Each structure stands twice: as C-alpha cells, then as structure tokens.
Amino acid sequence: MPKPEGDDLGSVYKKMAADKLAEFARKVALAKTKAEHTVAAGETLSGLALKYYGKSARDYWMLIYEANKAAIGSNPGVIKAGSVLRIPELPEDMK
C-alpha cells in the first residue's frame, strides 16, 4: 500500500481501523434484532456469538458488543449477569 504524503504508517493503519469500526457500527445499527438474551453468570460475548451465530470469532462477538455498548460499557470482556442484551441478525456479508 503506498504511503500517503505526510502520514506515517501507524496513523494510516489507525485511520483504516477507525473506518472499519465505523462501517461495522453502521451495519449493527441497521441490523434487525434476532433475539434478546438475559446474561447468566459466567457467560461471555464469544459464548453468545457461538450460541446465536455458530461462530465465536471476534467479528461475531463484536457485533453483539456494538449493539449493546451502552449496557456493557467500555470493556467487552465484562458482561454482567442479569443484563438483557440485544442479539442482532447477521449482516449478509457475515452469513
């Protein structure tokens, strides 16, 4: 990839990552709700992604996280038992 004039490679990659996250957030906002899930003790976002999508990869649990960021907070590694999370339908390009 050619290096843009005046930008270091690190800032280029950060911008690409920010653009990808913004696109991902748009997909989540447009997605219909597949289910609502009440979190049990010990559950994780990757476990929920595996349960609802059949895959526990980062993009799948991030879909759930982005849809519930306000309820979960800034750390996707910590979800509280009793929280009710929205499980969005998968975007076409993730099926």
* Structural domains in the chain, sorted by start: 9-94 (3.10.350)
The phi-psi region of residue 36 (left if phi > 0; otherwise alpha if psi is between -120 and 50; otherwise beta) is: beta
Tell me, what amino acid is at 9? Answer: L
Looking at residue 1, what is its pLDDT?
Answer: 46
Per-residue pLDDT of the chain (95 residues), as tens digits, is 454 555 676 777 677 777 777 777 777 766 788 999 999 999 999 999 999 999 999 999 999 998 999 999 999 999 999 999 999 999 888 88
